[in-house]
């Protein structure tokens, strides 16, 4: 009877230790997940900032190309007049 009681207490202690180990693993994984989440949020913010910067650069480029195109069109239409052909 005493041996069964001792065995049950040992088994209960082993289960308690196993539960404690699982809680520690869960805590460690939760911390790792939070760290990874913060890391990827930071990466996303960096990428979004870069994309926003690229968008601004593209808008400036489009504006410059448009200005160049418009000035070329003005020269195309003005050339015959300036040369006396129009």
pLDDT, tens digit, 9 for 90 and up, residues 68-78: 988 888 777 76
Which pLDDT score, from 0 to 100, does residue 82 have?
A: 59
pLDDT of residue 85: 57
Q: Are 80 and 86 in contact (CB under 8 A)?
A: yes
Per-residue pLDDT tens over the stretch 25-34: 999 999 999 9
What is the rounded (10 degree) CA torsion for 22, 23, 29, 34? Answer: 170
**pLDDT of 41 above 90:** yes
pTM, 2 dp: 0.54
């Amino acid at each position: 009877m005493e041996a069964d009681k001792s065995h049950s207490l040992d088994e209960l202690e082993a289960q308690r230790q196993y539960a404690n180990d699982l809680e520690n693993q869960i805590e460690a994984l939760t911390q790792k997940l939070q760290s990874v989440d913060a890391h990827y949020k930071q990466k996303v913010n960096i990428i979004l900032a870069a994309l926003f910067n690229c968008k601004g650069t593209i808008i400036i480029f489009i504006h410059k190309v448009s200005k160049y195109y418009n000035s070329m069109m003005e020269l195309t239409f003005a050339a015959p007049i300036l040369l006396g052909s129009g």
